[in-house]
Amino acid sequence: MIFDILTIFPELLDSPLNESIIRRAREQGHIRIKNTNIRDFALDKHATTDDRPFGGGEGMVMKADVLQAAVHHVRNENGPGHVILLSPQGRPYNQAVAEELSRRKHLILVCGRYEGVDERFRANCVDDEISIGDYILTGGELAAMVIVDSVTRLLPEVLGCADSAEQDTFSRGLLKHPQYTRPREYAGQDVPDVLLSGNHAQIDEFRFLTSVRQTLERRPDLLPAVTFTPAEIKLLKKQGLYTEIIKQQAKKT
């Protein structure tokens, strides 16, 4: 997969995109990342990428002609791509969106700044608009890094474990079960005996039930989107959890 990131601060992205799993994915050829400086496509000697908004108002607006020139450049280099504007006005980003994007071959991530971008750039060049949360950042660079990280780990062979990404929190709508490692006893608390039993069926059952309980306690808003198998429903009823799940699911109907 190719990630083209358009930004006026390319250096801001250099270190985070050259560490850990992303670095390894780049070295192994699973992904290619290029940071393109939008200022390189400015039309004046001052490399101006923004201007005052027509009609007045605070702040500056990124220029449509400069942004469009940058998009055309990376498209000429790497193909059409899917142009995403990182913006608080975009659709909310979640695991389902990450999975959707992971099926594409080329993402062009445009990092907005200041008060936003000229609407004509949005209308003429942008295929998608994404927000990583209901808060304001100084620019889209951090959001771009979130997308690169979350999409990369979904690509085949990147994590080196076939089902690792599938077991993550949010992958099926539930929070992940609690995790334990050595030492066996810590601060007066022991690792649950079932995890030491070697009985994989019981371990799977324990992890499923604790996953459901944590979701009920911490993120019940996730439950309306979760589908349970008949065997899982039978187990939830046996544990007295199914009635509460139905109540939470009914709140969204």
Which tokens is 105 given?
């071959």
On whether 240 is known to bind a ligand per the annotation, the reply is no
Q: Would the annotation count 132 as a binding residue?
A: yes
Please indicate if the annotation marks 112 as binding a ligand.
yes
DSSP state of 235: H
115 part of the active site: yes
What is d(CA 125, CA 20) in angstroms, rounded to the nearest whole number?
33
Task: Given the residues 40, 129, 168, 244, select the one marked as catalytic.
Answer: 168
Known catalytic residue at 153 = yes
Six-digit token pair at 22?
């992303």
Virtual torsion, Cα 224, 227, 94, 21, nearest 10 deg: 150
Among 16, 88, 178, 220, the active-site one is 88
Consult the annotation and say whether 136 binds a ligand: yes
Q: Report whether 133 belongs to an annotated binding site.
A: yes
End-to-end CA distance of the chain: 38
Q: Where are the alpha helices (DSSP H) in the chain?
A: 11-14, 20-27, 64-78, 95-102, 119-125, 141-152, 200-218, 230-238, 242-250
Which of 38, 35, 34 is CA-nearest to residue 66?
38
Calpha distance 205→203 (Å, rounded): 5
Q: Which of 26, 104, 153, 207 is the catalytic position?
A: 153
Instruction: Give φ, ψ of 14 to 5 degrees.
Output: -60, -55
User: Residue 34: beta bridge partners?
Assistant: 4
Bridge partner residues of 189 (DSSP): 186
Q: Please identify every residue annotated as catalytic.
A: 88, 115, 153, 168
> Residues within the annotated binding site?
112, 132-137
> Residues within the annotated binding site for S-adenosyl-L-methionine?
112, 132-137
